[in-house]
């Protein structure tokens, strides 16, 4: 707020996984800043600095943020969806709930769909409960066999079913509940059991259909162009998709 003589000139950058406390601007202006010691506040921008922002690298992103809308931006930020590099976004105004996407996923993965077609939403945008292939995948921390890892070609997060022991560590650590424990089946579709005839569980999640030449089956199966996998840090892609 330059008119009040206080302007933010620095931002917080974090290496690794973190939780962030969001304080509304109105609260900062009316409660926090008036009581803050003057020597701790950054120097305000000068009039010359405010008039010459054409080279600001954030200016373009700010314009895209306006196109996307403040409510959607707040929703994506509060839910940490910017951590995902391949988030499943559904346009609720186009989606007819036909579940063709779910059936396509199941057909590609031995009748075991790797995502759920529901999740938090804001306005017309819903983020489905599917692996987002995070920039900082905390699900990989603590896997005793290294079964969940980044594949070499694209860096996507995948699970090696041969080395997964079903310990649920990755499933418990995923903050988006995108990893499910399911009963393992053999090549003929029969359940696999241990020596005591108990079902053997394996961790499963979206693998972006890495073995499919056409990309994610869910996205290709949607007859209404209502579903897309995208990196939400690219606000331009999101804005264009919403404006199509």
Residue pair 123/70 in contact by the 8 Å Cβ criterion: no
When pLDDT is averaged across residues 123-137 and rounded to a whole number, the result is 92
Residue 45 reports pLDDT greater than 50: yes
Question: What is the chain's mean pLDDT, rounded?
Answer: 82
Range ranked top by mean pLDDT from 88-97, 103-112, 179-188, 212-221: 88-97
Residue pair 43/6 in contact by the 8 Å Cβ criterion: no
d(Cα 187, Cα 84) in Å, to the nearest integer?
Answer: 32
| pLDDT confidence of residue 60 | 53
| pLDDT confidence of residue 215 | 86
d(Cα 138, Cα 202) in Å, to the nearest integer?
Answer: 18
Residue 18 reports pLDDT greater than 90: no
**219 CB neighbour count, 10 Å cutoff:** 20
Residue 193 reports pLDDT greater than 60: yes
Residue 97 reports pLDDT greater than 90: yes
In b/e form, how buried is each residue of 61-96, taking b as 16+ CB within 10 angstroms?
eeebeeebeeebbebbeeebbbbbbbbbbbbeeebe
Beta bridge partners of 205: none
Residue 210 reports pLDDT greater than 70: yes
**pLDDT tens-digit readout, 143-161:** 999 999 998 888 889 999 8
Range ranked top by mean pLDDT from 103-117, 118-132, 188-202: 118-132
When pLDDT is averaged across residues 155-181 and rounded to a whole number, the result is 92
Q: Which residue has the higher pLDDT, 117 or 200?
A: 117
Q: Which residue has the higher pLDDT, 128 or 24?
A: 128
**Confidence band for 58, pLDDT divided at 50, 70 and 90:** very low
When pLDDT is averaged across residues 132-150 and rounded to a whole number, the result is 92
**Confidence band for 1, pLDDT divided at 50, 70 and 90:** very low
Residue 61 reports pLDDT greater than 70: no
Residue 195 reports pLDDT greater than 80: no
d(Cα 126, Cα 117) in Å, to the nearest integer?
Answer: 9
Delineate the domains of the chain, giving CATH numbers in brackets. Answer: 2-7+19-81 (no CATH), 83-243 (3.30.70.20)
């Amino acid at each position: 707020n330059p008119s009040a003589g206080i302007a933010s000139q620095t931002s917080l950058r974090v290496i690794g996984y973190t939780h962030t406390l969001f304080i509304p601007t109105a609260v900062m202006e009316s409660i926090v800043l008036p009581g803050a010691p003057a020597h701790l506040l950054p120097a305000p921008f000068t009039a010359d600095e405010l008039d010459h922002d054409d080279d600001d690298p954030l200016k373009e992103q700010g314009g895209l943020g306006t196109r996307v809308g403040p409510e959607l931006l707040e929703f994506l930020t509060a839910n940490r969806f910017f951590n995902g590099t391949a988030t499943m976004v559904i346009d609720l105004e186009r989606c007819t709930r036909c579940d063709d996407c779910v059936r396509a996923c199941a057909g590609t993965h031995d009748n075991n769909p790797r995502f759920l077609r529901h999740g938090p939403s804001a306005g017309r945008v819903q983020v489905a409960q599917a692996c987002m292939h995070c920039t900082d995948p905390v699900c990989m921390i603590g896997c005793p066999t290294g079964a969940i890892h980044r594949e070499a070609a694209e860096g996507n997060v995948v699970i090696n079913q041969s080395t997964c022991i079903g310990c649920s560590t990755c499933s418990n650590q995923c903050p988006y509940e995108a990893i499910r424990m399911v009963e393992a089946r053999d090549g003929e579709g029969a359940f696999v059991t241990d020596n005591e005839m108990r079902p053997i569980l394996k961790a499963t999640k979206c693998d972006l259909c890495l073995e499919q030449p056409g990309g994610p089956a869910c996205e290709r199966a949607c007859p209404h162009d209502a579903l897309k996998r995208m990196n939400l840090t690219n606000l331009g892609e999101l804005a264009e998709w919403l404006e199509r």
